[in-house]
């Protein structure tokens, strides 16, 4: 029998592993081998194939860029939409402390980002004592700017991985495979920007391959930091420290 990897916890919120499995299947419809398949799921576990590690390669990075373009292009029903087969909100963050991830249906990316991403984390950070009044004011100002559509583009809702930091890309002898999603409908630049938060191998080649399949909108480089605001806020709420000024400074840049 092929080796399996079992991800388990008895303390996650009810439905957590079903949420992750639903997201993987939704992404896999378009991403094929670039998305880890689900072998089994239960209330307290998720079973996946065991993936042997291999060194990152330029070719694997380029193949992943093309796969991400296909996944994003498969689309979603709306900005903020859950993966097909899932109802309600989801979660984002480490298995030890997943944060609620608001889902639903918004008519444009900016209002979705404001109401479902920036403001909920501003409230949570304030309640936890992470953000002071002045920092919350910056985040609220960004939310107003986003909701006004100032930073919207013509990109339709994309099928996002939603937690695509470098650690959620596994490099195997057969290529790169994505794991641990928080899948939803969003702006495709968000996944790409998150890869840059901690630096994915051969990222320029990955982005070039992506752009060949699905050309990015004008000015996307200037929006990388904008799309990093949400993951930086998540890290600020969970871990504090230098993530707090980093997140607030990024928000202020676009507020």
Q: Are 68 and 192 in contact (CB under 8 A)?
A: yes
- Cβ-Cβ contacts under 8 Å for 113 (sequence gap 6 or more): 146, 187, 230
Distance CA(133)–CA(253), nearest Å, equals 18
Q: Which residues pair with 4 in a beta bridge?
A: 49
Handedness of CA 129, 12, 23, 179 (dihedral sign): positive
Q: Distance from CA of residue 131 to its chain's centroid? A: 22
The two structure tokens encoding residue 157: 């809702």
Q: Give me the active site residues, please.
A: 163
Distance CA(114)–CA(183), nearest Å, equals 18
């Amino acid at each position: 029998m092929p080796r399996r990897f079992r991800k388990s916890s008895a303390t996650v919120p009810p439905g957590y592993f079903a949420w992750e499995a639903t997201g993987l299947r939704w992404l896999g419809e378009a991403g094929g081998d670039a998305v880890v398949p689900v072998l089994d799921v239960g209330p307290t576990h998720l079973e996946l194939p065991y993936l042997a590690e291999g060194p990152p390669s330029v070719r694997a990075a380029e193949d992943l860029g093309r796969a991400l373009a296909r996944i994003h292009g498969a689309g979603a029903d709306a900005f903020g939409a859950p993966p097909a087969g899932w109802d309600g909100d989801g979660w984002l963050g480490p298995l030890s402390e997943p944060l609620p991830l608001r889902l639903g249906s918004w008519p444009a990316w900016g209002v979705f980002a404001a109401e479902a991403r920036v403001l909920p984390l501003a409230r949570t950070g304030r309640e936890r004592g992470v953000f002071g009044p002045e920092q919350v004011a910056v985040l609220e100002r960004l939310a107003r700017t986003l909701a006004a559509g100032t930073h919207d583009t013509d990109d339709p809702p994309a099928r996002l991985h939603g937690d695509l930091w470098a650690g959620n890309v596994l490099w195997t002898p057969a290529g790169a495979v994505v794991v641990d999603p928080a899948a939803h409908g969003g702006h495709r630049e968000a996944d790409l920007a998150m890869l840059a938060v901690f630096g994915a191998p051969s990222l320029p080649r990955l982005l070039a391959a992506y752009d060949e399949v699905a050309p990015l909108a004008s000015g996307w480089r200037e929006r990388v930091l904008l799309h990093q605001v949400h993951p930086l806020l998540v890290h600020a709420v969970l871990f504090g420290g230098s993530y707090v000024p980093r997140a607030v400074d990024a928000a202020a840049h676009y507020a």
